[in-house]
Structure 1
Amino acid sequence: MKRQKRDKLSRAHAKGYQAGVAGRSKDNCPFQTSESRSQWLGGWREAIEDRQLGMTKL
């Protein structure tokens, strides 16, 4: 049985979250399409909030 890839939008969100936790700038978004970019930025924002609340390890 073949393994399914996660959908691209959830992957973009997860990558944005990882970038935010790592402290990278939102200008480093690698996505060009508006939907993927929006998901990446959403993940990035969540990570920044979590960092400010002390919920992530640096």
Structure 2
Amino acid sequence: MFGFGIPELLVIGAILMLVFGVGKLPELGNSFGKAISNFRRAADGKDQVEINPKAES
């Protein structure tokens, strides 16, 4: 996986926790997953791309 081992992934994870905080990580992961999913759909040539704007409070 891109030449990253467990120690490198742990360091990257620790840096992400410091930058974004523990509370934002699930939201960040969810957004990243949706972005990858939409990219794959677009790459496959499907016309519909799921875009759901977040409701503001």
Q: Which TM-score band applies after superposition, normalised by the shorter structure? A: 0.3 to 0.5
Taking structure 1 as the reference length, what is the TM-score of the superposition?
0.41
State the structure with bigger RCO (CA 8 A, min sep 6), 1 or 2. Answer: 1
Taking structure 2 as the reference length, what is the TM-score of the superposition?
0.41
